[in-house]
A and B are shown apart, each in its own frame.
Chain A
């Protein structure tokens, strides 16, 4: 994972609540053995018409959304399945951060492992962002702040270890492997064996 320290971008807004992983990346695109190319199918049900043409009403197909890296979405974004294809699809498309009032557990965990920033903010900040698509925001990972165009910086919660890994681009597998001796010790001394 590459290190992420700061992100400055205009926002795209998807106000719907409970956007599930089947909407982010429908199951029929999961018959892949790679992580690449999933951005093409991001939000496929909403983004394309039945004949495969672009749905001009969907926000990703509007001119203003080009180059936006921050997605503001309704409450409980990423609910549903554990598919890591959801953050892979968002990242492959070019989205680097999700802002909502709540983000589903497994999706959040998967996002952090890939450098996609899950940002949970209070309802008032969220409501403002929903009403102001295209607003330019700055996310500072070290300070755990989201700065709005008026200069107001809002703190967002993040696990300190996850933040450390984002800032340093740390591979959590390597961290686990460093504990090999402790893992072996656990295996050898536990009171029962599975």
Chain B
């Protein structure tokens, strides 16, 4: 170990992966420990490999799944899959062929581990502290919850990693976000990250890697930490990270791809040394008072347009972009969102589709019915989550409340597989993007936590979940 200057968590992981350091003239060459791939952002990269006759350098460090354009309706075999379009079907076939031809592990339709790429990495124990992890998907930041440096890349870079297991990168800056204190009952990781984005803005993290710190973060379980890191990209950040601790190690113990025996002990020693040095300095830091946070909901067309659940929608104050967003959402300023009737509730996505998310929603829905006229879709993040939820009867809770219980996938988060919100309809969604048309052409999206989404489904409008928690 060199006695160099104190380092942050990010700097430790970065330095540990430098094949070649950056200079003024050239970027760093960064080695990648885990490359996650899915069907939407890889076909053009594989086409390039074929064209140039290049093999995948490290098939053992590459892991594939199908999630974006896959149907979430039940099926028995690949043949009777109700794939939404010929394009999507072709993409799915192509993914299968690419993984076969290049010898890559793929969790396709025959795998009990299939699921959203950012759900299955941690579930399989492939996501580990201190690794560099990339995927052609911006929510790769999710894996930073384990103290990995994980970020999204474009398809050209997917090709670079397939061919060389490396990326050309400039060193990002560091941003510490300290969330202090204890969260109130009914305030979840989703509310924390929405509040942070509201505070620093959708470009507040641009060019930075965020490290989330503080009591409120440390008190979170791994699934909640993943929710926080997942939406780092919604603040424009390159990545989000949380220092590994006992919970991280406990979560990884015994997973299929976790190290075993002496390797496990060595890995744990290495992981314990990853948290940032006490004297390490960040380029910027932001403090958030966790005790003051409320359940949060978005009201506009980006995740930074966010308010506490019972607050009135703010005024546009002559800002044309703001007014355009309110027009699109058909929401009037000065009134709380509970005034607007909703049509669809979606519980799912890589932000909030793990077992604890489903449990939180189910606790509120147990013994209750969703409002008349509301369609509610519950889509577990992976087949493993689905089985775990069914084992404790959550599927029944959802179905009895009037919701649909589906196979895993991205589903209504992105609407690529046919699960869409109809034009003009209002949706409360536990996903991560409320962009115009994200959930379907003309769809209007309000982002919220699983608890808020469940409470809203019952009420038929945006609703504070806290009254439902009393007496629990």
Task: Give me the interface of A with B, judged by CB distance under 8 Å.
Answer: 15-18, 20, 22-23, 26-28, 30-35, 45, 50, 74-76, 79-84, 87, 102, 104-106, 109-110, 113-114, 159-161, 164, 172-173, 175-177, 179-180, 182-183, 186-187, 190, 192, 194
Contact indicator A83/B156 (Cβ below 8 Å)? no
Contact indicator B40/A30 (Cβ below 8 Å)? yes
Which stretch in B83-91, B277-285, B396-404 binds the other chain? Answer: B83-91
Residues of A near B94 (CB, < 8 A) are 33
Lowest 4 CB-CB distances: which A-B pairs, in order?
A31-B87, A194-B33, A33-B43, A110-B154
Task: Give me the interface of B with A, judged by CB distance under 8 Å.
Answer: 16, 19-20, 24-27, 29, 31, 33-34, 40-41, 43-44, 47-48, 61, 68-69, 84-85, 87-88, 90-91, 94, 128, 131, 136-138, 140, 152-157, 159-160, 163-166, 168, 170, 202-203, 206-207, 233, 236, 238, 266-267, 270, 302, 304, 320-321, 324, 414-416, 423, 433, 435-438, 441-442
Contact indicator A80/B44 (Cβ below 8 Å)? no
Contact indicator A76/B203 (Cβ below 8 Å)? yes
Listed by A's residue number, 21 A-B pairs whose Cβ atoms lie within 8 Å are A18-B302, A20-B433, A27-B416, A50-B442, A75-B203, A76-B206, A79-B203, A81-B433, A82-B138, A82-B140, A84-B44, A102-B203, A104-B203, A109-B154, A172-B160, A177-B163, A179-B166, A183-B31, A183-B165, A186-B19, A194-B33
Contact indicator B433/A82 (Cβ below 8 Å)? no
Residues of B near A81 (CB, < 8 A) are 137-138, 152, 433
Report how far A22 CA is from B234 CA in the complex, Å. Answer: 13
Contact indicator B90/A33 (Cβ below 8 Å)? yes
Closest to B34 in A: A194
Residues of A near B24 (CB, < 8 A) are 160
Contact indicator A16/B321 (Cβ below 8 Å)? yes
Residues of B near A186 (CB, < 8 A) are 19, 31
Report how far A83 CA is from B168 CA in the complex, Å. Answer: 18
Residues of A near B324 (CB, < 8 A) are 16
Report how far A28 CA is from B90 CA in the complex, Å. Answer: 14
Contact indicator B91/A76 (Cβ below 8 Å)? no
Closest chain B CB from A75 CB (angstroms): 7
Closest to A162 in B: B27
Residues of B near A160 (CB, < 8 A) are 24-25
CB-CB under 8 A for A34 and B203, given A23-B436, A109-B154, A160-B24: no
Closest chain A CB from B262 CB (angstroms): 12
Closest chain B CB from A53 CB (angstroms): 15
Given A33-B43, A82-B137, A106-B153, 19 extra CB contacts under 8 A? A15-B320, A18-B304, A18-B321, A27-B414, A28-B416, A32-B43, A50-B423, A82-B140, A82-B152, A84-B41, A84-B154, A87-B154, A106-B152, A110-B155, A113-B154, A172-B156, A176-B168, A179-B19, A182-B29
Q: Which of B19, B31, B34: most chain A CB closer than 10 A?
A: B19
Pick the residue among A17, A83, A105 that contacts B236 (CB under 8 A).
A105
Contact indicator B164/A76 (Cβ below 8 Å)? no
Contact indicator B164/A183 (Cβ below 8 Å)? yes
Contact indicator B20/A182 (Cβ below 8 Å)? yes
Contact indicator A20/B302 (Cβ below 8 Å)? yes
Pick the residue among A34, A175, A179 that contacts B44 (CB under 8 A).
A34
Closest chain B CB from A94 CB (angstroms): 20
Pick the residue among A23, A35, A83, A190 that contacts B435 (CB under 8 A).
A23
Contact indicator A76/B156 (Cβ below 8 Å)? no
Residues of A near B155 (CB, < 8 A) are 84, 110
Residues of A near B165 (CB, < 8 A) are 183, 187
Residues of B near A83 (CB, < 8 A) are 40-41, 154
Q: Which of A31, A105, A180: most chain B CB closer than 10 A?
A: A31
Residues of A near B47 (CB, < 8 A) are 33-34
Closest to A16 in B: B321
Closest chain B CB from A50 CB (angstroms): 7
Report how far A160 CA is from B131 CA in the complex, Å. Answer: 28
Contact indicator A176/B166 (Cβ below 8 Å)? yes
Residues of A near B414 (CB, < 8 A) are 27
Residues of B near A164 (CB, < 8 A) are 25
Report how far A114 CA is from B164 CA in the complex, Å. Answer: 19
Contact indicator A104/B437 (Cβ below 8 Å)? no
Report how far A45 CA is from B156 CA in the complex, Å. Answer: 26
Residues of B near A182 (CB, < 8 A) are 19-20, 29
Residues of A near B137 (CB, < 8 A) are 81-82
Closest chain A CB from B232 CB (angstroms): 11
Report how far A186 CA is from B29 CA in the complex, Å. Answer: 11
Closest to B132 in A: A194
Residues of A near B433 (CB, < 8 A) are 20, 22, 80-81
Closest to B156 in A: A113
Residues of A near B44 (CB, < 8 A) are 33-35, 84
Residues of B near A113 (CB, < 8 A) are 154, 156-157
Closest chain B CB from A60 CB (angstroms): 16
Residues of A near B157 (CB, < 8 A) are 109, 113
Closest to A185 in B: B19
Residues of B near A190 (CB, < 8 A) are 16, 31
Closest chain B CB from A162 CB (angstroms): 8
Contact indicator B416/A31 (Cβ below 8 Å)? yes
Report how far A76 CA is from B304 CA in the complex, Å. Answer: 13
Residues of A near B436 (CB, < 8 A) are 22-23, 45
Residues of A near B203 (CB, < 8 A) are 18, 75-76, 79, 102, 104
CB-CB under 8 A for A80 and B206, given A18-B302, A31-B40, A33-B90: no
Report how far A110 CA is from B160 CA in the complex, Å. Answer: 12
Pick the residue among A18, A22, A79, A173 that contacts B163 (CB under 8 A).
A173
Pick the residue among B61, B207, B320 that contacts A105 (CB under 8 A).
B207
Report how far A138 CA is from B61 CA in the complex, Å. Answer: 45
Residues of A near B206 (CB, < 8 A) are 76, 102, 104-105
Contact indicator A161/B168 (Cβ below 8 Å)? yes
Residues of A near B43 (CB, < 8 A) are 32-34
Contact indicator A82/B270 (Cβ below 8 Å)? no
Closest to A109 in B: B154
Contact indicator B85/A79 (Cβ below 8 Å)? no
